[in-house]
Amino acid sequence: MNVVPKTIGGILHNLNKNASDWGWPSLLAYGCQTSVVVVDTKTVQIIQTLEKHKSHVTRVKWARENYHHTIEAPYTLRLASADNSGHIIVWDVSEASERSSFSEGNKPVLEMEWLSTQDASHDLLVALHPPYSVILWNVATGTKLWKKTFTDNILSMTFDPFEPTNLTLLGNDCILFVNDFSIAKAPSSNGRKFYITCPSSISSSSGSNSASTGEKKNGGKPKGALRRVRLLVGDSKPKSSDNGSSDTDPISLNDCIQLCYLQSCRHHLLLLYTREILILDLEINQTVGTIPMERTGSPFQMVYPCRQRDVLVCMHENGSISVRVRRNGQSSNHPTSAVTPIDQLGSFSNFQGEAGTGFDQLEIIYDLRCQSDPLRVTKHVRAFSIAVCLCTERSIALVMSDGRILFWNLITIDYIPSTISNTHSQLVLTPLFSPGYSSDSNGEFEFLPPIKSPQKSQVAAPYPKLCLSDLIGHAQNLGNETKHGHEVILKFVLTGLLSGVGIMPTVIRMCPPLTTKNLTYHQPLVAVGTATGLVQVFNVSSGALVKEYNIHISNIRGIEWINLNSFFSFSHPNPNNNGLVRNELLLLDLQTGRTTPLRKEKGEESPIEAVKVSHLKLYFIIMFKEKAFEVWDLKSCTMLREMPTNFPIITALEWSPSHNVKNLKKRQQQQALHESISGNLPVKETTPTASHILDTVGVHAGTKATSTSISREHFVFTDNNGLLYHFIVQGSTVKDGSKMPPESGMGSVTCIAWKQDLMVLGDTEGNLNLWDIKGKISRNVPTHRGWLKKLKFAPGKGNMRLMILWNDGVDIWDTNAITRISGLRGNKESFKVLDSDWASSDKPVVLTEDGCLRVYDVEFKATCTSLSHSVLPEPVFCPHLLTAKAGLAMKYTIQHQAWNDSYTLELSSEYETPEDENIIELVNVQMNLLPMEIQSYLSACPYGTAQRCLFAANLFGDEAEMNFWTVALYYLKSEQARLGCIIHKNSTELAATPSTSDIYLPGDPLDPMHIAGGSDLLNLIDKKEEAIKCTCLKEPSLDCCYDALCTNQSYKRYQLERLCLHDNKRATYAHTKKCAESLMLLGQTDRAVQLFLETESENDNYYVDLLRACLVATIRSSGASQSTIKLVATSLIANGRLSEGVQLLCLIDKGLDACRYLQTYGQWNQAVWLAKATLSYAECCEVLKRWVDYLCTPTVNQKSLAILVLLSMGQFRRVLELLMSLHYYDRAAMLAEACSEFGVLPEDKVTRSILEKIYIEYARYLLSLGNKKGYGYFCNKAAEKAKKVITDLEWS
């Protein structure tokens, strides 16, 4: 295997705790000391290490993939990392190169976020520096765009995923809300402060809380319930209620360990504490959900709010991971009512109540659905962080402090009540439901239509369960007649484990080097010994842990390889007062894992200093600190001789390399030839082969004559006086050779290296003595570096590089020129070198005090290399590693290949590319790595091009295309179903008005979940006959994370649920007033009147609220007054009373005018909210079209969102035009093909003209990639406009 510079990580530093991120390309990056490690999550192997930071890495963040990818902006692996000194580096991971780097002072980076606010740039990065600075960087140039300094200390920050202008900051005792974040300039204000408080047990003042009246009327709310309600109080910090000056108790935010927005629901903020999780609704500034930790549960450490479903993934202190799925709380008035499975997914089936009596108590509750097994957590082994796959949200990586990474995967198992034990609390709950319809033929994959094999009649591939949304059902279920999948239970499965270097490593040793004889099976293995007695064997080529043995009980002092499959390891504790220890010497066989203890009968003695194995693997010598050495026979593992007690104590020893295998073979051949001439034996029978010598522990000899020649080896050693001794070992005899006096100027020799005819000695004073044995020349080289710990020649014939290990670093010398080539010195800023060795002939491997193994180049400059030069043990599926053209060719092949006779995931001759761009081979390798279930399903996608585009976006981790094709596919199916519906076929609306049957609403309209317009929240309309005949789309709408892109009815349902929750959480008069006004806007007039009438007489607004109640109650029956009310509303708006004017307009059913006024005054989100929840489809589209125009303006520049809004309105032709204006030719062509397949585009001249332009541009685009067949296909589709170019091209 090829050995390239890399880092094998070990234990993590405390500053690395939150430095982990799972990117869209399905790669995990995490900080390990000063390095950044990149792991492929599918094959669980390290593919890259990045090292340029001088201090510990504190944050890593993958770049967003929410932009359009082209040849000029291809799929690349961009990663930002920040360290404790404030230095930020943006990496090109595939090339292991630095794109840009920048810093602001030396303050550490607490948080980093890539921006997605505008389509103009995807190179913007926000960094938070303590104590109170936020900086916006352009990473492409390393330019600081602006810096904002706040007045309060900032601990963390988070962006609102639904509104990019909202930035929320967590302070020591407050939360700061910034609502004017922009890339053009820094925020103008220091943000609005909010403090979290809990209502005091003392009764509230009469004028500030009207909820007490409601409690008296309802009589069902306990007084202690308000103690669980946290309020957000603005502007000034509240005082404690002990002095009687306030009715709230402030709650400290110092214990808050995480602040983030819910990605599945708008306006919801999550605060994580060790014993509870708070869900805050920012529209009412109040806690709407509390998740307390179980009494015996492990404290929370981190939480990830999922986007695809309303699910929380929580990490606990004991290393376990829990999944909590949202449901609605049970009605307080119906404690015995059954909790349905849909409730647990956050539906509205508990939204019940009688007219005039108000709403029932609701709570946002997250049920514990599954939890992984806890880990053994100690002082040195703790759970640091979790990272969740952004594409699927079902794969989680748990990063431990000891460098281990555990990969967990969520799966579902069938719910069988008879086999479920009620002892598990999470199983007592009713089960979840898988999405889609049940189908016996599709097995556990519940999707319709079932996919039929094109060749056979039986059902073929089931739908691949890639994402969390494929495991559990939709959060909003519409109607009881809608079929669901079968009942399932979530479960965690451990799919991978990646281990690093163990805690407190002490010594490393490389296996025997690569030779021509072991070329076919050699692996570059390094053995690492730790202070805990653990021996680990790593492959330095791949960085993978091969073997791990916990075989010693004390500190491992040394390792000595015998061959590629076995080694010695010895350990002993620290010496006692007498300097004696109990040594452990073991022989380990890697193939079987068997350990053979040696010298086990020995008691306390002098510590073992080293074990030296001879070059012919016949003998080994055990050196002691204060005791004479022992000579052992390696084959039989028996001691040949123990030197007498008066023998000199040796300080360094080395076997002679002159009696190596080559010389041995030569002597044996000569001896065999002599015996053949003498007539003893044939030559061919006595000629031994050396292939067995390095492969076995013992040596195989054929005759006594050869055995005698094999068993003779030489070694030299030095004593305390510097004398050099030469000894010979032959059989069981140890013969004394010669002695040489020490060289002048040399101190006590500490180490010896011997290669060919050169012997190098090092001493305690840093002197090197190079002795040319053949030329009998000796030379001293003083280095003045102090104690030499180790000398070792690089492997390879003629390679005379010498590695020198000092106390403060390591050097590489050229012994031929006697010059220093390079060196590495440890210092306070970096690390201390513990041990070193040669990983290959030109790659040193270094063990450092931070617990990492680093493989350097010979210059000690690089510890990372380009992936194009690396050979990974397992192939990695990652289209981002392909060239720009190859990546795009692969995506377009998956999406659409109508020019081929049959769909195939293989590139052939249609791509004619230059020889230096081997696109076909590169793409086909990646195609073959696709899971078989995906390959099978892609060939027969029931929804054609649109569904294949969605799969391609998921496989590529393309955030922008995933959002686009999810929305597009839903509304393509919806429009197709409408055009096939007898009732709504000729309707121009995608959906009916709220007062009539909504075509998106499957099921029986008599069902109480069917919400319609009217004075009451639930107005039951009897249109059963029409609903039965309607064949419109029966699938649930898009999930709540798509917000305004959902259908009007599902959007209104969700807003009514939130309003019901707000009503039941009322604690102050301001909150009650806001609820009443929202009820007015949504047409819930009866309940609005009740809330206005609850105002107490002591309140200053008592008279006004009573008048408003009268107005709301009578306005519906007095149509003649509409002109007057409209005039009053207009006057109020003109005089700055926008909210009041809009309320009056909604009372007289002038919601469209109200939305126009809101848009005119810049309240775009409020206008969309009002339009989606109250207006008819036609009027709503008018408001949304104006919103689209606003989003396309240069100052806003959110055309991607505008495209999604147009898709939700079914304006496919307008979407095509906008895509063409943005030069998104590929996406426009795929959407045009999808629209043709679904039959949703009108057949007129304008449409044909647009399609021709799209096809000809996409044809040119395919030609630039080398796809001539695709070019010809779309030229033919472009027809008239392509006549000129068709004649110039010939294709087969």
The percentage of the chain sitting over the pLDDT mark of 90, rounded to a whole number, equals: 50
H-type alpha helices, 554-660? none
User: What is the mean predicted confidence (pLDDT) over 1121-1146?
Assistant: 90
Tell me: pLDDT of 241 over 70.
no
Per-residue pLDDT at 786 exceeds 90: no
Is the separation of the CB atoms in 29 and 23 below 8 Å?
yes
Whole-angstrom Cα Rg for the chain: 38
Burial class (CB in 10 A: 0-12, 13-18, 19+), 235: exposed
Look at residue 1073 and tell me whether its pLDDT is greater than 80. Answer: yes
Which of the four pLDDT bands, split at 50, 70 and 90, describes residue 118?
low
CB atoms within 10 A of CB 66: 18
SS3 content of the chain, % helix, strand, coil (to 5): 25, 30, 45
Token couple for 267: 């306006």
CB 98 within 8 A of CB 88: no
- Please tell me the distance from the alpha carbon of residue 833 to that of residue 823, in angstroms, as a whole number: 11
| The pLDDT value given to residue 258 | 93
* Cα 166 from Cα 412, distance rounded (Å): 37
Distance CA 375, CA 191 (A): 42
Using DSSP, how many helices (H) and how many strands (E) does the chain show?
26, 59
Residues β-bridged to residue 1278: none
Residue 322 · residue 413 · CB < 8 Å: no
- Beta sheet of 20-22, edge-to-edge order: 20-22, 27-32, 35-40, 45-50
The residues, ordered by sequence, that sit 6+ positions from 689 with a Cβ below 8 Å of its Cβ are none
Residue 200 has pLDDT above 60, yes or no: no
Sign of CA dihedral 606, 608, 613, 614: negative
Residue 1048 · residue 1172 · CB < 8 Å: yes
Q: pLDDT-based confidence at 735, cuts 50/70/90?
A: confident
Q: Please give the pLDDT value at position 355.
A: 35
Q: What is the pLDDT of residue 329?
A: 46
Q: Looking at residue 994, what DSSP letter applies?
A: T
Structure-derived torsion over alpha carbons of residues 516, 517, 521, 524, reported in degrees to the nearest 10? -60
pLDDT tops 50 at residue 1003: no
Q: What is the pLDDT of residue 976?
A: 87
For the ranges 295-304, 310-319, 332-341, the lowest mean pLDDT is seen at 332-341
Rounded Cα distance between 1057 and 363, Å, is 11
Beta-sheet pairing, 712-719 with 724-730: antiparallel
Question: Which span out of 22-26, 712-716, 974-978 was modeled with the highest average pLDDT?
Answer: 22-26
CA 897 vs. chain centroid, Å, equals 32
Share of the chain above pLDDT 70, in %: 79
Q: Using CA atoms, how far apart are residues 238 and 250, in angstroms rounded to an integer?
A: 6
Asked if the model's pLDDT at residue 100 lies above 90, the reply is yes
Check the CA dihedral 1116-1117-1119-1123 and report its sign: negative
- DSSP codes, 616-641: TSSEEEEEESSS--EEEETTTTEEEE
- pLDDT tier at 448 (50, 70, 90 boundaries)? very low
- DSSP-assigned letter for residue 1199: H
pLDDT tops 50 at residue 1136: yes
pLDDT at position 697 over 50: no
User: What's the rounded Cα separation, in Å, for the pair 1072 and 224?
Assistant: 19
Question: Roughly what angle, to the nearest 10 degrees, separates helices 1177-1191 and 1164-1174?
Answer: 160
Lowest mean pLDDT among 333-337, 791-795, 861-865, 1187-1191: 333-337
806-829 pLDDT tens trace? 988 999 999 999 999 999 987 655
Reported as a pLDDT band with limits 50, 70 and 90, residue 264 is very high
Q: What CA–CA distance (Å, rounded) separates 835 from 847?
A: 5
3-state secondary structure at position 217 = helix
Q: At what angle do helices 1225-1238 and 944-956 cross, to 10 degrees?
A: 140
Residue 320 has pLDDT above 90, yes or no: yes
Looking at every residue in the chain, the average pLDDT score rounds to 81
Which residue from 527, 474, 478 is spatially nearest to 345, judged by alpha carbons? 474
Extract the tokens encoding 322: 């829990």
Quote the CA–CA distance of 723 and 761 in Å, as a whole number: 12
Name which of 1067, 1069, 1038, 1040 is nearest 1054 in CA terms.
1040
Q: How many CB atoms are located within 10 Å of the residue 74 CB?
A: 16
Q: Are 50 and 539 in contact (CB under 8 A)?
A: no
Tell me the mean pLDDT in the region 217-230.
44
Q: Are 96 and 7 in contact (CB under 8 A)?
A: no
Q: What local confidence, expressed as pLDDT, does residue 1282 receive? A: 52
Q: Exposure of 255 by Cβ count < 10 A (0-12 exposed, 13-18 middle, 19+ buried)?
A: exposed
Rounded Cα–Cα distance for residues 449 and 943 (Å): 9
CB within 8 Å of 400: residues ≥ 6 apart: 12, 319, 375, 381, 382, 383, 384, 406
Residue 210 has pLDDT above 80, yes or no: no
Question: Which segment of 452-456, 655-659, 994-998, 1072-1076 scores lowest on mean pLDDT?
Answer: 994-998
- Evaluate if residue 720 carries a pLDDT over 60: yes
Average pLDDT over residues 271-284: 92
Other CB atoms within 10 Å distance of the CB of residue 974? 23
Distance in Å from the first CA to the final CA of the chain? 43
Q: Residue 250: its pLDDT value, please?
A: 64
Determine the residue type at 462: P
Q: In this predicted model, what pLDDT tens digit does every residue of 1028-1063 receive, in sequence order?
A: 566 677 777 888 899 999 999 889 988 998 899 898
What pLDDT shows up at residue 570? 95
The closest of 804, 793, 878 to 841, measured between CA atoms, is 793
Query: Which residue shows structure tokens 């090109």?
Result: 92
Q: How many CA atoms lie within 13 A of 1101 on its CB side?
A: 16
What pLDDT score was predicted for residue 416? 77
**Contact between 678 and 671 (Cβ < 8 Å):** no
SS (H, E, C) 801-830: EEEEEECCEEEEEECCCCEEEEEEECCCCC
- Give the pLDDT band (50/70/90) at residue 731: confident
pLDDT at residue 857, rounded to an integer: 92
CB atoms under 10 Å from CB of 633, counted, come to 18
At residue 49, the pLDDT reads 92
- Cβ pair 123, 139 in contact under 8 A: yes
What distance separates the 2 farthest-apart alpha carbons in the chain?
A: 135
**Distance between CA atoms of residues 95 and 327, nearest Å:** 46
Dihedral (C-alpha) 467, 259, 406, 416: value to the nearest 10 degrees?
-50
Distance CA 871, CA 1267 (A): 30
For residue 1003, give the 3-state DSSP assignment: coil
Asked if the model's pLDDT at residue 350 lies above 60, the reply is no
Region 291-298 average pLDDT? 89
Is residue 1151 within 8 A of residue 1171, CB to CB? The reply is yes
Contact partners, residue 854, CB within 8 Å, separation at least 6: 5, 6, 7, 8, 51, 845, 846, 848, 863
269 beta partners: 261, 280
Contact 556, 508 (CB under 8 A): no
Closest C-alpha to 922, from 952, 865, 954, 878: 878
Confidence of residue 327 (pLDDT cuts 50, 70, 90): confident
Split at pLDDT 50, 70, 90, the class of 1216 is: very high
* Residue 900 pLDDT greater than 90, yes or no: no
**For the packed helices 1177-1191 and 1199-1208, what is the interaxial angle rounded to 10 degrees?**
170
Q: How many CB atoms lie within 10 A of CB 301?
A: 21
Q: What is the mean pLDDT of residues 1258-1284?
A: 81
Count CB atoms within 10 A of the CB of residue 246: 17
- Provide the angle, in degrees to the nearest 10, between the axes of the packed helices 1245-1264 and 1225-1238: 130
Q: Cα–Cα distance between 656 and 771 in angstroms, integer? A: 14
